[in-house]
Structure 1
């Protein structure tokens, strides 16, 4: 009689590490001083440094994580630094998380082709198509 074949034990599942919600401050350079809080129901991400009390707030959506708010803060700080170097008047940073239809460029206008039944300006002329010469009333 032969020995039964032993089955291998399945490898343990890897545990996903939780994403960090504390980061280094851009202004005071302290490690783990910046905490991020996400208010998903309100659609707002808030960031605050414990050491220098620097605060930042931006819009978020359901897929946003703490790192997204932190990267928005970095982008906002870079935008402010570039505005200061350009000599133009400082314009407030508007964020990139949410865009509305009305912004600095104004409301977006979409072209809609609305034709009434009474419009006779539409014809069937084109390449290889002979136009109608009869008038329809």
Structure 2
């Protein structure tokens, strides 16, 4: 006679890893140089970089974590960058929906070509004349 098969006990819930409190700086790109401190009683989250000295402060609530303060810093930095680009008259190539084709069905990129070649000869690209 053999032994009875023992029943295994169910596994408990997995322990969640804690959220980070140190991050990469957006301005100097040093990893783990930005520390976040939360003062939930005062409702303030403070963020500062040890390397470049960049500081940020925002309002927090009782549910906020360090990741939330870092996310608000990223959003604020993006908003400032967009605002600076708008003030500087950014002349980059921004496309809107449907602007890929010009009138007449020709591509907007090839409209300014003097000769009707359909190849791209960008800066620093030399055409290869050898046939293979």
Residue matched to 1:37: 37
CA-to-aligned-CA distance 1:5-62 (integer Å, 9 cap, x gap): 4121332441111100100000000000000111111111100001011000000111
Q: What's 2:82 paired with? A: 82
Instruction: Please name the residue that 1:105 is paired with.
Output: none
Q: What pairs up with 1:5-20 in 2 under 5 angstroms?
A: 5-20=5-20
CA distance in 2, matches of 1:39, 1:50: 19
List aligned pairs for 1:1-137, cutoff 5 A: 3-87=3-87
Q: CA deviation at 1:71?
A: 0.8
- State the TM-score, normalizing by the size of structure 2: 0.61
Deviation at 1:79, TM superposition (A): 1.1
Supply the distance in 1 between the matched residues of 2:72 and 2:50 (Cα, whole angstroms). 19
2:35 aligned counterpart, secondary structure: strand
**Equivalent residue for 1:99?**
none
Number of paired residues? 88
Partner of 1:127: none
CA distance, structure 2, for counterparts of residue 26 and residue 5 of structure 1: 58
Question: Matched residues in 2 for 1:5 and 1:85: separation?
Answer: 71
After superposition, the CA RMSD in angstroms is: 1.9
Could you tell me how far apart the structure 2 residues matched to 1:85 and 1:57 are?
Answer: 24
5+ long unaligned stretches in structure 1 = 89-137
TM-score (norm 1): 0.58
